[in-house]
Amino acid sequence: MNEAIIESIPTYTVTVTGYGSVGDGIARLDDGKVVFIRNAARGDILEIRLQKDKPRSARAEIVRMLTPSPYRIKPDCPFYTKCGGCDFRHITYEEELEVKLRRLNDALERIGGLTVSVSEILRTGQTDGYRNKAVFHTDGHALGFYQSQSQKIVPISSCMLLKDDINNAIHNLDPGYEAVIRSGRNGIKPPIEEELDGLIFRISGFFQVNTGAALLLYKKAREYAALSKNDTLIDLYCGVGSLTLFAGRDAGYALGIDNNPDAIETAQFNALQNGISHVEFVCADAAKWASDLTCPDCIIVDPPRKGLSHGAITKLLELSPKRIVYISCDPATLARDLRKLEGYTLKEICAVDMFPRTANIECCCLLMQDTGTARHGDGSLVFACCEDKRTVPVSCYTLGIAENPRSRSSSVGT
């Protein structure tokens, strides 16, 4: 943009009071309009210029730092201000964790109507060099990542989030073609395998990008599932069967469901190579899958970021498990789905920092079927003894519960 035109655009002085769901700082103009500011920190006093102005909100760029936040640090990555891969390299890790907890708790209260307060995030302590997968895009001349809020390619020579062997391989890639590199316990040479708690998994589809944090997540899911040799487990969205096998080894019978045939084939291989014979895998849609199994002891769901479809929720309620372990990477869709799972009460919830230095957060929840709940064949509720399905009566070490549940409010996006 012409410098003379830029100079003619008015600027505003604002104080950043919080963060949006993708990590942007939030401030308000004098008229109350909400402004989202990339690379801003809570407590910053800034001079800003509006970029995209809408009736109720706007996006803005920082013109000048008037007073820096006490949580602000100098970014340690040369690509940070342009690359959209990280969101929080300009604030302390402690502030980042606080941001993620606030985002999760806000979604649970405002969207889910739940009176809970998650107070701890499980984490490995490794904030860099954890990613075992990278997708490199190209503009025809160079490889890189997308710029924030854009499809523009930011060329990179290395990424601080990636494992060393992936960074070392970047220079050997053809810059004219997009590339996906995955790293496992055996490096980047296929077949890629990961090891979790003594189990070996071949990876051909979805797998958590942070292996160390995945172990924390899987241990918590296994704890919540609380399976014995008399129990039956169903794992919807099972992928390559890693969590099915990790938690299902405690069960008498486990079944994994996924609509990706390659993932199911790999899951079957993983069961064989780990010597687990009481687990089966079926290629089917989670919402349309037909089975004679009803009332399993536990169902694990780990859906995509968009959450459970209407059909998947109907299927879940129709199966009527005693326990549901819900894993989510999006607090908003998690909260939405928890509200829809009538006849179940949220008992425990735990956050896991699967994606350090980004705005994303992983959650693991335990829901228990209300005593006396029965359902029609279509999944509709026949009877439930608990009048308030959304009140959370007990806590775990990661959960703080308010004494008096609040009444539901209208759903508001985060």
- Active site residue ranges: 329
Which secondary structure element, helix H or strand E, spans residue 203, and what is its range?
none
Instruction: Please choose, from the candidates 219, 199, 210, the residue with its C-alpha nearest in 3D space to the C-alpha of residue 124.
Output: 210
Amino acid type, 249: R
For the chain, give the number of residues. Answer: 414
Q: Which amino acid is at 230?
A: N
Pairing of strands 121-122, 133-138: unpaired
Q: Among 269, 265, 254, 308, which residue's Cα sits nearest to residue 286?
A: 308
Q: Which of 272, 271, 322, 264 is nearest to 289 (CA)?
A: 264
Eight-class DSSP state of 184 = B
Per residue, the 3-state secondary structure of 346-385, as one string, reads EEEEEEECCCCCCCCCEEEEEEEECCCCEECCCCCEEECC
| Strand, coil or helix: 204 | coil
Separation between Cα atoms, residue 330 and residue 352, nearest integer Å: 12
Whether omega for the bond prior to residue 55 falls within 30 degrees of 0, making it cis, is: no
CA distance 43 to 70: 7
Residue 12 CB contacts under 8 Å (≥ 6 apart), including other chains:
29, 30, 35, 47, 48, 49, 50, 60
Rounded CA gap, 364 and 327, in Å? 5
Cα–Cα dist 371/299, whole Å: 17
Orientation angle between helical segments 93-110 and 331-340, nearest 10 degrees: 30
